[in-house]
């Protein structure tokens, strides 16, 4: 084992298991998550649509025939089925649209305090704009929210989880000049219809991931091949749209609804390959280019993109003969407008990376060549069926501490954390993953004084895993996708979580041995 990683493990594990606090503090919240396209199904369900006049009253509607609209993942799976590992789709998925009460019961049986789910933009607004509002879509999410609250489970709602209405994509998508207008209007519809009961909002999920739809002709929609340009433009647009949704809530809804708003950012934890200054600096660059890219404009005191990122992209752009940096500039107005637009830090963590300095070997400009680093996995790590996901629970503490130190100990909610396998009912590795990630989370709380609000397991049920289809499973409950009834079966991890939540203490039989 490399010296830096041994040091990380020593710091993470502490001196002995007996000295480790494995009890959850009062008020710590447990939740589980899904995303609309991955579980709902009912992809083309018809319904009643409403045209609001005026919008803010949400009362004066003209009835018409409508239903859920097509979004970019609908278009992808139907026109390019070879993009999906098993040539499946989310057309039916777990059928949560019809089985939401069963899923709420699963959440209650485990004892979860909240449920993080996303709203399908195209199910609410079939065309993406407010010219048509689907009443059946509004009713579905109202029913889900009410069912959750009736079972003492708080809804945590994500506005956008990768499923842009196709109509908006046709008008320019995430980089279109009007995207911020459309997203603010969409947010207004959500606040108006659900904000009396929803007190936790996330604007976007993992923008650092879905920007890849603008880096190649691959299998992430909309499959625009513009690396080092398109991804930066999307990020720029998303940060502005996020801030607009936040400022809208401040102006018109917060005083009455008294909710909290953030964005769910995803990051792996970078560890230096060696003790060299070059690798240590490369690791910090990796963290700033990945997580800081979105976090720094929102959470830092100065706002804007990280300085190292601006400098590197500007220098590379100049060397490429460009007239301006491929990384757009905000200007003073937008720097001030975006800064501070979050009430907590939404953080998705799955795995860690070993980082080293390397000269760019890429022929094309990209955000990876702009970093000038190499990230890899330690060959000693256990890797899940998802090749990017390794068993590295020490990274949970490392990442939480990094965020806390860089962003003034903003309260953090782990909004996703999970393990991939092929669907085993006796999923002991998933149980081990969760228990030990939570152990390092508690180390961050008790030893590093990090403020952590709670933890979200991905996912409450098996679901459609994007380009991997149903070949990879993350659920605490197994779903038989060959059965039209989509039966749910608890896995070992669900039973472990239920006991953990009931006792508010980590089970010792799943804890890794600590280093004495």
40, 147, 284, 416: the catalytic one is: 416
- Residue given tokens 């509004």 in the structure block: 138
Per the annotation, the verdict on 284 as an active-site residue is no
Would you call 140 helix, strand, or coil by DSSP?
helix
Cα 114 from chain centroid (whole Å): 16
Q: Where do runs of H (alpha helix) occur along 133-229?
A: 135-150, 166-170, 179-194, 207-210
| DSSP 8-state assignment for residue 250 | H
Are the CB atoms for 469 and 78 separated by under 8 Å?
Answer: no
Whole-angstrom distance, CA of residue 461 vs CA of residue 487: 11
Residues 6+ apart with CB under 8 A from 321: none
**Cα–Cα distance between 281 and 275 in angstroms, integer?**
10
d(CA 391, CA 377): 10
User: 134 forms bridges with which residues in the sheet?
Assistant: 49
Q: Token match 């513009």: residue?
A: 226
Catalytic status, residue 516: no
286-308 burial, b at 16+ Cβ within 10 Å, e below that, comes to: bbbbbbbbbbbbbbbeebbbbeb
Question: In 3D, which of 430, 452, 250 has the Cα closest to residue 347?
Answer: 452
Query: What tokens were used for 236?
Result: 């720029």
SS3 of 458, please? strand
The answer to whether residues 93 and 39 touch, using CB atoms and an 8 Å cutoff, is yes
- Distance CA(47)–CA(55), nearest Å, equals 20
Active-site residue, from 147, 206, 284, 465: 206
66 Cβ contact partners less than 8 Å away, ≥ 6 residues apart: 46, 47, 48, 49, 126, 132, 134
Structure tokens at 270: 């970078």
493 contact partners, CB below 8 Å, separation of at least 6: 427, 430, 431, 434, 476
Residue 94 structure tokens:
């777990």
Confirm if 104 and 117 have CB atoms less than 8 A apart.
no
- Answer for the pair 51, 61: CB distance below 8 angstroms, yes or no: yes
**Catalytically active residues, by annotation:** 206, 416
């Amino acid at each position: 084992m490399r010296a830096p990683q041994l040091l990380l493990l020593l710091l993470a594990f502490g001196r002995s298991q007996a000295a480790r606090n494995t009890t959850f503090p009062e008020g710590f919240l447990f939740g589980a998550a899904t995303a609309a396209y991955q579980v709902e199904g009912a992809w083309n369900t018809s319904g009643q649509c409403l045209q609001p006049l005026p919008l803010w009253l949400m009362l004066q509607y003209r009835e018409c025939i409508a239903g859920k609209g097509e979004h970019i993942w609908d278009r992808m799976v139907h026109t390019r089925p070879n993009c999906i590992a098993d040539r499946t789709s989310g057309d039916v998925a777990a059928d949560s649209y019809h089985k939401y009460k069963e899923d709420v019961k699963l959440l209650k049986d485990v004892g979860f305090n909240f449920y993080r789910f996303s709203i399908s933009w195209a199910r609410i607004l079939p065309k993406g704009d407010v010219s048509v509002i689907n009443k059946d879509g509004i009713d579905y999410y109202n029913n889900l929210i009410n069912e959750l609250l009736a079972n003492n489970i708080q809804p945590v709602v994500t506005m956008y989880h990768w499923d842009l209405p196709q109509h908006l994509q046709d008008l320019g998508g995430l980089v279109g000049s009007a995207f911020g207008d459309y997203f603010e209007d969409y947010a207004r519809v959500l606040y108006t219809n659900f904000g009396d009961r929803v007190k936790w909002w996330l604007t976007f999920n993992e923008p650092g991931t879905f920007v890849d739809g603008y880096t190649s002709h691959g299998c992430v929609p909309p499959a625009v091949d513009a690396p080092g340009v398109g991804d930066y433009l999307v990020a720029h647009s998303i940060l502005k749209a996020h801030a607009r949704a936040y400022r809208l809530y401040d102006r018109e809804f917060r005083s009455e609804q008294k909710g909290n708003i953030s964005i769910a950012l995803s990051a792996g934890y970078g560890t230096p390959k060696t003790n060299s200054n070059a690798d240590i600096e490369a690791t910090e660059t990796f963290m700033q280019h990945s997580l800081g890219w979105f976090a720094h404009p929102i959470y830092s005191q100065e706002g804007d993109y990280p300085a190292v990122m601006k400098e590197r992209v500007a220098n590379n752009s100049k060397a490429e003969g460009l007239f301006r940096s491929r990384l757009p500039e905000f200007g003073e107005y937008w720097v001030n407008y975006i800064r501070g637009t979050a009430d907590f830090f939404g953080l998705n963590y799955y795995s860690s990376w070993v980082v080293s300095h390397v000269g760019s070997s890429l022929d094309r400009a990209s955000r990876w060549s702009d970093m000038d680093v190499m990230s890899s996995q330690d060959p000693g790590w256990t890797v899940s069926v998802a090749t990017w996901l390794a068993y590295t629970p020490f990274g949970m503490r490392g990442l939480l501490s990094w965020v806390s130190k860089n962003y003034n100990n903003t309260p953090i909610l782990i909004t996703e954390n999970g393990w991939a396998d092929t669907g085993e009912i006796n999923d002991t590795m998933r149980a081990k993953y969760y228990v030990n990630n939570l152990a390092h989370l508690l180390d961050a709380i008790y030893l590093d004084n990090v403020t952590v609000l709670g933890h979200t397991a991905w996912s409450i049920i098996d679901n459609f895993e994007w380009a991997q289809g149903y070949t990879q499973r993350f659920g605490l409950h197994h779903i038989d996708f060959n059965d039209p009834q989509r039966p749910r079966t608890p896995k070992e991890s669900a039973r472990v979580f239920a006991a953990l939540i009931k006792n508010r203490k980590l089970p010792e039989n799943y804890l890794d041995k600590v280093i004495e």
